[in-house]
Structure formats: C-alpha cells, structure tokens
Structure 1
C-alpha cells in the first residue's frame, strides 16, 4: 500500500513539474491538494509523512472520523464539498483552514457570524459553476463579481481566490474553456479592486486534466484517487473519479 501511494504521488508531482515547465511557470506557483474523500486516515498519514501538507475533505462526517488520528501530523485541511449551514460549527471544530466551496450569501453570512463568536477568521474561495451543469454547485460566472463584492463586507472571511470543478470530459478543449472562464473572472475581479479581496488562488484541475489547468493558471490542483488508488504509471491518462456522483462530487 505505502509503495503504491508514494509511487503515485511521485507520478503526480512529476506531471505538475512537467506542466509548469511547459507553461513557463515556477513549480512553487502550483500546490497539490490531496482530496481524501473515502481515504482512510492511515493512508492519508503516508503522504503527510512524506512532504505533503495540504488535504481536503468533501464531507463533514469524514472530517470528524479522521480528525483524532491526523491532528498530531502537521497539515492543513481545506473543505471542498457543498457546505450546509448547520455544519459550520463542525468545520471550525475540526480545524478547516479554508472553505473552497463558498457559493452563496446565506452561507457566507452564517459562517461570518459563527467566526465572530469565536473571534476567528477563515480563508475562503468562491466556487464558480463554469460548466453550466445543474449537477454542480457554484455561483453562475455572471453573478460571481457581485457575490464576491457582498462577501467582502464580512471581515472574518478572507477571500483568497476562486474554485471550479469544470467539465468532466475527455475533450480537453471543452475542459479548457471552463478554466479560461475562471481565469478571466479572476482578472475581472482584480480590476474591480474590491477591498478585503485577494485573487491569488485558482483551484481548478484534477488528475485527468491538471496539465490543462496549469496551462490556464491554476495555483491549486486537486488529486484524489490517482494518488490513493491502485498504482498508476506516467504514460497513462486517468479518469478515476465518477463522471457525476451528484452535487457532492468536488473531489479530484
């Protein structure tokens, strides 16, 4: 198990390195986020003990189940799933440092109120539905600037950038179009010069399309099964995640 996971991790890191080189980007500009949906704490600890520091869960229940076993191993935990307002207290309890899936004002307001009571702040990314699919969460691209402007009024929420899932397709140019939408939106928001808003992070791209995402400006790529699943090889093209597992599939 350990050998397979470390082999897969090396493959993914090498793909990121090669994609950065091809795009004329520094590898320091792109972070690997390991999506740990359904992955045991035992398997997660393998990557944390070998230089990886950034993981993410889709479901609050999995955060709870793995928290005790992982809390003493240095890492940062993002949340990439659809967040229900009644789960906000758990997100804070289990040390999530960034919610990448902020997609509506009601959630922002309730998250802000909870953070106020705990005298805390939190990094957030605005999730955008760039594929125009009903099966995916995220704000419509045409409404994203206004949502960002409204969320910027909450001082506890530190907006760091944008996230999208993109289209599940083997046609790379269709996937690229989603990433271009997010990149263009980032630039539009930067031009708006909204106080309390940074646009440094673009979380987009998964195991099957990370090269395309990096070419289009991704700063965070989300990879899950391609690391934690069966052994993979550098010359393969992978689509390990289900095409549509409903509206909770924010994994890589």
Structure 2
C-alpha cells in the first residue's frame, strides 16, 4: 500500500519550506532529484506532473529503458551511482550531469569521449567520502584539492559542486557535522581560486536526512523513498 506520489511530493515541499525558513534560505535554492532506481515509469510520470524535473539514476541500463518514455519532455537525467569505466560512454550520451566523479582517470576518460564528440562544458560534481566507509564512493577530503586541480585541467568538464552521503543511523548532530563539512570544503575549494572553478552545488541529503542537509546548505537533495515509497525491486 503506497501513498500517492503527489501527496508525498507535497509533504517533501512542506519539509523543504520549513527547513529553509529555519535556515533563512529561499526554498527555490533547493532542487529535488527524484531517485528512480526500481521505480516504474507510471510513478515517474506522476512525479513529473507534480513539477519534478530531475530524475536521478544509479543504473545506466535501467535508466536507458525508461528514458524513451520521457523523450522530448522537460526532464533532466542525473547519474548518481558509482561510475564504471565501461559505462562512461553511455553515461555521457544519456545523462545531463554526473554527481559521483571521484577518480582522475575517469575524468580523463570522460573528457576524451566528450572531445571526440565535439562536446564541452559537461557538468560534474565530485564525490567526497566523509564517513570513512569503504562501501561508499568518494575521495577522502585531503585528496579533494588534488582531484579538483586535475579535473579543472580537462576543459570538456565543468566542476559545479560536491556530493556526499551522510552517515546512516547516527545522531542529528553527527549527520549535520558531515553535511557542514561538505559545505566548508566547497568554500575551501572556491578560496583556492583555481581558474575555471567556482562551486555552487551541494548534492547531499536523502529521504531520512534531507531536512538536516538543507540546514547545512544543500542545493540538491536526492529523494527516493520520500517520493515513491518503499522500493519494490
């Protein structure tokens, strides 16, 4: 038994508004990335009808099966999963943005493919692992400046922000500390004044903790269960 997607989105927007009011922010600064892993196109269409414009997918093949349903519509597809080298070509062909770049060699591969296709300015976020958990992707924070400098030399890519995954099942303060640190890292990178690099996006916060992420400056929140209910696949 699941709530209607529309009703869930209404609740999400109320939570965003409340968190933004508490933080002294404009709710328009927060973009909802609807995580559609395991979600059917009927539910996605309902979300689209309610004003959701960004779909986030972890799996390239699953996303490609859904994309034709929304061809020609005002939709952005963001890749939010772990990058695999053999999937880079399809990611660049089918997704508008990548949230999870964490390796220089993958950046070089992306840049090479974009250059060959005559494309440039492709937006990427760099993923930072702030929990220390090996199961999560991302560079360690001390590695971030080096990765930024390396990716900044690849003119086909445009670094627009940072992404992280908050700690699961910890106290609100522990979760906020991780999100706060990502914001501090964004400010640190901007203070380096690297040519062509000015970060504006913070992709952080999921269904259980997005209200905390907003308090710490999230501009993109990645929501699956909060919108679509429990995943069925």
Task: Please give the TM-score of this superposition, normalised by the length of structure 1.
Answer: 0.88
The 3-state SS of whatever aligns with 1:101 is strand
1:248 counterpart residue number: none
Distance in 2 separating the partners of 1:54 and 1:159 = 19
The 3-state SS of whatever aligns with 1:137 is coil
Structure 1 residue 61: Cα displacement: 1.1
Runs of 4 or more, structure 1, over 4 Å off, are none
Structure 1 residue 71: Cα displacement: 1.6
2:176 counterpart residue number: 176
Structure 1 residue 220: Cα displacement: 0.7
1:85–1:111: 8 Å Cα contact kept in structure 2? no
1:212 counterpart residue number: 212
The 3-state SS of whatever aligns with 2:37 is coil
Structure 1 residue 73: Cα displacement: 2.5
Structure 1 residue 113: Cα displacement: 0.3
Distance in 2 separating the partners of 1:126 and 1:71 = 28
Distance in 2 separating the partners of 1:137 and 1:81 = 9
Task: Spell out, residue by residue over 1:65-85, the C-alpha distance to the aligned partner (whole angstroms, 9 max, x if none).
Answer: 111112232211100000111
Count of residues in Structure 1 that have an aligned counterpart in Structure 2: 230
The 3-state SS of whatever aligns with 2:200 is strand
1:101 counterpart residue number: 100
1:66 counterpart residue number: 66
Distance in 1 separating the partners of 2:135 and 2:93 = 29
Map 1:76-225; keep pairs closer than 5 Å.
76-94=76-94, 96-121=95-120, 122-225=122-225
Structure 1 residue 120: Cα displacement: 1.2
Q: Which runs of 5+ in 1 are unaligned?
A: 231-239, 241-252
Structure 1 residue 131: Cα displacement: 0.8
1:182–1:202: 8 Å Cα contact kept in structure 2? yes
Task: Spell out, residue by residue over 1:87-142, the C-alpha distance to the aligned partner (whole angstroms, 9 max, x if none).
Answer: 11111232x11100000001000000000011112100000001111110000011
The 3-state SS of whatever aligns with 1:32 is strand
Distance in 2 separating the partners of 1:207 and 1:147 = 29
2:204–2:221: 8 Å Cα contact kept in structure 1? yes
Q: Which runs of 5+ in 2 are unaligned?
A: none
Structure 1 residue 3: Cα displacement: 6.5
Structure 1 residue 2: Cα displacement: 9.4
Structure 1 residue 170: Cα displacement: 4.1
Q: CA RMSD in A?
A: 1.5
